[in-house]
Amino acid sequence: MSCKGAGQLRTNFYIDGFNLYYRALKDSPYRWLDLRKLSETLFPQETIHKVCYFTALLTARPGDPAQPQRQQAYLRALATLPGFQAYYGILRPRVKQRPLVRPLPGMPTHVLVNDMEEKGSDVNLATRLLVDGFNGDYEQAVVVSNDADFASAVRSVRDELGLRVVLVNPDRKNRSPSALASSATYVKRLWTSHRRRSQFPDTLADEVGVITKPSGW
């Protein structure tokens, strides 16, 4: 465990992109979120070294054909941030069987639906968290997710590597699963004030040109 005091810890963020989006950003006015500013807002006394973002590239869907364009604009904005690294899983189309809430007498009780399944992001995040910790890349790790699958990796960082690992729960309605919360050094909540204070400007630029906040965001 580092003997440095508060305000001096070299801190890496590991952000579960889909979990953050669906738990804290979807249908909110805060989707144009500057993750570097968010990390500094959550931990103003610490030294932010890296912000690692784990997601998958979206494809156009019949009800929302512009979804990939919005994501690309956001990824371009994120790429302008110092210390930002993106890691990509994949989305796989699947057909799933789902039960009907109120099946009619004599009619089928289940239907087949088209769905997308994200693969790889969780493994990528857990692997990067452990490898960076083993290599001494941080003194404190911050995992932004409410996914209980990270409990083992988080506990290993804390107990086997002897490093601080903080869980930031992005869920606006629910507490962190007990297995996940108990594996961390401590837990913080992501509040509306954090999101509101951590927005990109409506326009910014990279080497390609101007990046504009997507309409409706």
pLDDT tens string 108-124: 777 756 555 677 799 99
pLDDT for the residue numbered 100: 76
Work out the average pLDDT over 57-65.
87
Q: Of all residues in the chain, what percent carry a pLDDT higher than 90?
A: 78
Least confident of 71-80, 85-94, 199-208: 85-94
Residues 190 and 20: their CA atoms lie apart, in Å, by 10
Work out the average pLDDT over 153-176.
97
Q: Of all residues in the chain, what percent carry a pLDDT higher than 70?
A: 91
Residues 6 and 103: their CA atoms lie apart, in Å, by 58
CA distances from 126 to 11, 71, 134, 135, 216 (A): 16, 23, 12, 14, 33
- Looking at every residue in the chain, the average pLDDT score rounds to 91
C-beta neighbour count of 137 within 10 angstroms:
14
Is pLDDT of 91 > 90? no
Work out the average pLDDT over 53-74.
93
CB 10 within 8 A of CB 30: no
CB 89 within 8 A of CB 99: no
pTM assigned to the model: 0.87
Q: pLDDT of 130-151, one tens digit each?
A: 999 999 999 999 999 999 999 9
Question: What is the strand order of the sheet 10-16 is part of?
Answer: 110-119, 84-99, 47-56, 10-16, 140-144, 164-169, 186-189
151-159 vs 121-134: helix axis angle to the nearest 10?
0
Residue written as token pair 């919005």? 70
Phi, psi values for residue 61, rounded to 5°: -120, 150
Close Cβ partners of 173 (under 8 Å, ≥ 6 residues apart):
none
What's the pLDDT band for 107 if we cut at 50, 70, 90? confident
Tokens of residue 73, six digits: 């604009």
Number of Cα atoms under 13 Å in the Cβ half of residue 85: 14
C-beta neighbour count of 155 within 10 angstroms:
16
SS3 for 100? Answer: coil
Residues 77 and 139: their CA atoms lie apart, in Å, by 27
pLDDT for the residue numbered 112: 56
Please name each of the domains of the chain with its CATH number.
10-91+118-209 (3.40.50.1010)
125 membership: H or E segment, kind and range: helix 121-134
First-to-final CA distance of the chain = 41
Q: pLDDT of 22-55, one tens digit each?
A: 999 999 999 999 999 999 999 999 999 999 999 9
What's the pLDDT band for 4 if we cut at 50, 70, 90? very low
